[in-house]
Amino acid sequence: MSYRVYDVSMTIHEEMPVYKNKPEKKPEIEVIQDFDTGSARESRIHLDVHTGTHVDSPLHMLPDGGTIETVDVKPLTGPCRVVDLTDVEGGIRRSDLEKYEIREGDFLLLKTRNSEEDAFDFDFIFLAEDGAEFLASCGVRGVGIDALGVERSQPGHPTHKKLFQAGVLIVEGLRLKEVPAGEYFMVGAPIKLRDTEAAPARVLLFEGLSATGV
Q: Which residues are catalytic?
A: 60
Distance, CA of 21 to CA of 141 (rounded, Å): 30
**Helix (H), strand (E) counts: the chain:** 3, 13
CA distance 161 to 170: 11
Instruction: Find the helix or strand (DSSP H, E) in which 96 lies.
Output: helix 94-97
Beta bridge partners of 42: 33
Check: CB of residue 16 under 8 Å from CB of residue 28. Answer: no
> Do the beta carbons of residue 80 and residue 213 sit within 8 Å?
no
How far is Cα 62 from Cα 151, in angstroms, rounded to an integer?
15
Q: Say how many C-beta atoms besides its own lie within 10 A of residue 17's C-beta.
A: 17
Helix, strand, coil % in the chain, rounded to nearest 5: 20, 25, 50
